[in-house]
């Protein structure tokens, strides 16, 4: 673009040289120029450099002035309101452009995504901070670092407060309290590195900004001096273009000076173009190029107005305004209003979409606030509960942890209530922790008492574990085990240790008892060999097909098995193998189910000791009571069918259920009779 412009300017300069070939024409031109410069200088006496009005503001004022006489008062108000809205949008963009003026990388900025720091763990936050400080430019990560710092401090302070409350609840003195985490050290190192880099950056930046300001002010003075030089107009124009190029490359300046310096420069650029009014070819060519470039900017702004990512669109719009102000000069006066209105309209569309975006963000934050308030209410409800046992508290602790996680994952809330919401959340969790600590403080005393009881049982078990008086010691050891089960919890840090001591003492005794029994009975070993051979024979046994004869044969086999006698204690599993073989044979027989059950049940009873027989008796009686109650309920239900036909499906179903339960009841009663016979 610039190369094309230079080529055209050279052609124009050549034409100017032809036009000024005669001395008379040159003298007339210089005389008129001097008169214009004098008039311009006199008109500028009343205004300072920094009070120069921007191109956009002039356009707004001219538009209002031209239309005020032709429209009604209402139309004027509407027009003024529209212009004010457009100007408000433009001003916001200009403010952002001025703020970015100090950032040397503003035109090279790349997007650094802002993550949902609120839902990240402390470790993840520090990892992200370290990555940003190491890989990104320090001037581009302020928003990210501030967000990470805020969320990390909130999460760390919550843990700190909880640990402090636990410390005080256990009787500690606040003066002695000290708490830290390794992750906090990592955070401090990364954040201090960020601060050091940031301070160094801004120290160097301030020096560069003031140096660039001096350069730009010197260029303005040089530009002003062009109006007073006595040289060929073509050379003056070349000098002007050189000043423009140096201005573009002069670098950033302090944002407090940005707008005034630019307006002053822009004012003198326009004065120079007015100075060139006799050299219309040069001026019009430049105006044309500027107009074309501004139309390109307008077209790009209109494209941005349709872009889905409004944040990205707004940032690129800032660059377009910077190009409009910094790189492109004025256009012909009759086109200024038209091209500026197009750009202003596109700017307002993007501005309005951005405002709507943040309005919707506020709605999302409001929804997040509702969710967080509901979570806080649930925590408060749990905190108000009266829990008496350890398991209840453990369940509630898990619930609170899930609610805390849900709170952190719920997202941001409106800034105006952020601190208040966070304080309510911390207070609700603090109340729960205080109640929990009070419970476990009282529980600690009880656990110490339980520990004393269990240590006494361990001492007793260890005193009995090497006894050879099996008849007297075995009941005592069983009582020790029963008493152990009745004692509640002991402190968790010692629970496993005392349990291992107790278990080792008991196992030592009963292993000796079983070893003695196994070694003492030669008959049991002989019986084992017989049963192993008998089992092999039964696994190969085949039924004859005569049900009655097969039943008698199976009964005889069972009787033969029982007659062999007991086997060593650690080999009793062989009886279970035999029972499985018998069960398989009964399944192949076509006999009454109850009869089959009783035969198999009788076989199993031989392997039960006294304790298991008592347990079996209790179990069967409970089953008989349950089935009897079920039969009684079904018989009562028959009253509801007093008017029903005997062919009713539902009535038949009830009778069938009653019969099924009666058959089951008979089976269980028969089993109970067999137990009694034992």
Span 5-19, pLDDT tens digits: 333 333 333 333 333
Higher pLDDT, 162 or 455: 455
Share of the chain above pLDDT 90, in %: 8
Expressed in percent and rounded to 5, the helix, strand and coil fractions of the chain are 80, 0, 20
Asked if pLDDT for residue 20 goes beyond 50, the answer is no
For residue 482, give the H/E element and its range.
Answer: helix 470-486
φ, ψ of residue 544 in degrees (nearest 5)? -80, -25
CA 118 to CA 371: how far, in whole Å? 14
Q: Residue 435: is its pLDDT beyond 80?
A: yes
Nearest to 529 by CA among 588, 468, 576, 571: 571
Take residue 329 and report the two structure tokens written for it: 């000069």
Residue 469 has a pLDDT of 86
Calpha distance 124→136 (Å, rounded): 17
* Enclosing H/E stretch for 311: helix 310-326
The pLDDT of residue 372:
92
**Is pLDDT of 647 > 80?**
no
Q: Under a CB-based contact definition with an 8 Å cutoff, are residues 330 and 287 in contact?
A: yes
- 273-285: per-residue pLDDT in tens? 777 664 566 677 8
Span 220-250, pLDDT tens digits:
888 887 776 666 777 777 888 888 888 878 8
- pLDDT above 70 covers a percentage of the chain that reads 77
Instruction: Give the pLDDT confidence score for residue 379 in this predicted structure.
Output: 92
How far, in Å, CA of 285 to CA of 13, rounded? 11
Point out the least confidently predicted range of 229-233, 554-558, 571-575, 665-669.
229-233
Stated as kind and residue range, the H or E segment containing 137 is: none
CA distances from 135 to 132, 138, 140, 371, 423 (A): 5, 9, 11, 36, 35
99-103, 439-443, 471-475, 538-542: which range is least confident on average?
A: 99-103
Q: List the chain domain ranges.
A: 2-108+211-358, 117-202, 364-436, 444-520, 521-594, 608-678
Q: How confident is the model at residue 520 (pLDDT cuts 50, 70, 90)?
A: low
Task: Supply the pLDDT for residue 50.
Answer: 31
Helices and strands (DSSP H and E) totals, the chain: 22, 0
Contact 661, 631 (CB under 8 A): yes
- Using pLDDT thresholds of 50, 70 and 90, give the confidence band for residue 57: very low
Mean pLDDT of 67-87: 46
Residue 77 in tokens: 């108000």
Other C-beta atoms lying within 10 Å of the C-beta of residue 349: 18
Q: Can you give the pLDDT at residue 5?
A: 34
Mean per-residue pLDDT for 153-164? Answer: 80
Model confidence at 646, in pLDDT bands (50, 70, 90)? Answer: low
445 token code pair: 């005393």
- For residue 377, what pLDDT is reported? 93
Q: Give the span between the Cα atoms of 489 and 46, in whole angstroms.
A: 93
Which tokens in the block code for residue 118?
Answer: 């609120």
> What mean pLDDT do residues 34-41 have?
34
Residue 247's CB is within 10 A of a number of other CB atoms, namely 19
pLDDT for the residue numbered 49: 32
pTM above 0.85, yes or no: no
Tokens 């016979």 appear where?
677
Mean pLDDT of 366-390: 89
List pLDDT tens digits, range 188-198: 999 999 988 88
Residues in the chain: 678
What is the SS3 assignment for 321?
A: helix
Q: Are 56 and 344 in contact (CB under 8 A)?
A: yes
DSSP 47-98: S-GGGPPPHHHHHHHHHHHHHTTTS-HHHHHHHHHHHHHHHHHHHHHHHHHH
CA distance 105 to 102: 9
Per the prediction, the chain carries an average pLDDT of 76
């Amino acid at each position: 673009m610039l190369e094309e412009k230079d080529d055209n300017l050279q052609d124009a300069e050549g034409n100017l040289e032809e036009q000024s070939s005669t001395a008379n024409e040159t003298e007339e031109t210089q005389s008129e120029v001097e008169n214009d410069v004098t008039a311009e200088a006199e008109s500028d006496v009343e205004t300072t450099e920094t009070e120069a009005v921007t191109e956009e503001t002039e356009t707004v004022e001219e538009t209002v002035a031209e239309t005020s006489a032709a429209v009604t008062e209402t139309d004027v108000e509407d027009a003024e309101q529209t212009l004010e809205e457009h100007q408000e949008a433009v001003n916001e963009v200009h403010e952002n452009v001025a703020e970015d003026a100090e950032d040397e990388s503003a035109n090279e900025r790349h997007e650094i995504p802002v993550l949902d720091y609120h839902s990240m763990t402390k470790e993840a936050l520090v990892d992200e901070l370290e990555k940003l400080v190491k890989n990104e430019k320090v001037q581009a990560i302020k928003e990210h670092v501030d967000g990470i710092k805020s969320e990390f401090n909130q999460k760390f302070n919550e843990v700190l407060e909880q640990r402090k409350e636990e410390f005080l609840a256990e009787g500690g003195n606040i003066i002695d309290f000290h708490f830290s985490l390794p992750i906090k050290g990592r955070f401090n190192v990364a954040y201090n590195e960020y601060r050091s880099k940031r301070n160094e950056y801004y120290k160097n930046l301030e020096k560069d900004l003031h140096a660039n300001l001096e350069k730009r002010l010197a260029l303005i003075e040089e530009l002003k001096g062009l109006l007073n030089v006595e040289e060929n107009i073509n050379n003056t124009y070349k000098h002007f273009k050189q000043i423009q190029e140096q201005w573009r490359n002069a670098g950033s300046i302090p944002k407090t000076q940005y707008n005034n310096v630019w307006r002053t420069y822009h004012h003198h650029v326009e004065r120079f173009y007015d100075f060139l009014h006799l050299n219309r070819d040069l001026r019009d060519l430049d105006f044309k190029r500027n107009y074309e470039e501004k139309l390109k900017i307008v077209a790009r702004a209109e494209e941005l107005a349709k872009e889905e990512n409004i944040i990205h669109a707004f940032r690129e719009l800032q660059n377009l305004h910077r190009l409009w102000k910094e790189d492109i000069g004025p256009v012909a006066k009759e086109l200024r209003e038209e091209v500026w209105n197009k750009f202003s309209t596109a700017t307002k569309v993007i501005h309005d979409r951005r405002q709507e975006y943040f309005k919707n963000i506020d709605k999302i934050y409001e929804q997040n606030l509702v969710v967080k308030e509901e979570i806080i209410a649930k925590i408060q409800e749990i905190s108000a509960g009266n829990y008496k046992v350890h398991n209840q508290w453990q369940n509630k602790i898990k619930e609170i942890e899930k609610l805390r996680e849900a709170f952190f994952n719920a997202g941001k809330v409106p800034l105006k209530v952020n601190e208040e919401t966070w304080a309510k959340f911390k207070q609700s969790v603090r109340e729960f922790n205080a109640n929990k600590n009070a419970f476990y403080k009282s529980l600690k005393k009880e656990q110490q008492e339980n520990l004393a009881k269990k240590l006494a049982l361990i001492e007793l078990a260890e005193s009995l574990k090497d006894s050879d008086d099996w008849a007297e010691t075995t009941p005592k050891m069983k009582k020790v085990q029963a008493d152990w089960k009745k004692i509640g919890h002991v402190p968790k840090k010692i629970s496993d240790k005392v349990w291992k001591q107790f278990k080792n003492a008991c196992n030592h005794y009963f292993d000796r008892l079983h070893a003695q029994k196994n070694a003492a009975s030669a008959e049991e070993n002989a019986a084992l060999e017989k049963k192993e051979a008998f089992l092999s024979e039964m696994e190969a046994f085949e039924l004859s097909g005569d049900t009655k004869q097969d039943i008698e044969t199976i009964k005889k086999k069972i009787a033969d098995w029982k007659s062999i006698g007991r086997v060593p204690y650690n080999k009793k599993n062989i009886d279970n193998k035999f029972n499985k073989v018998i069960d398989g044979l009964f399944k192949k027989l076509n006999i009454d189910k109850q009869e089959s059950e009783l035969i198999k049940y009788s076989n199993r009873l031989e392997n039960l000791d006294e304790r298991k027989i008592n347990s079996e008796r209790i179990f069967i009686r409970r089953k008989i009571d349950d089935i009897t109650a079920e039969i009684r309920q079904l018989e009562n239900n028959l009253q509801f069918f007093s008017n029903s036909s005997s062919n009713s499906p539902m009535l038949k179903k009830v009778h069938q259920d009653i019969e099924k339960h009666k058959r089951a009841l008979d089976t269980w009663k028969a089993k109970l009779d067999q137990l009694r016979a034992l």
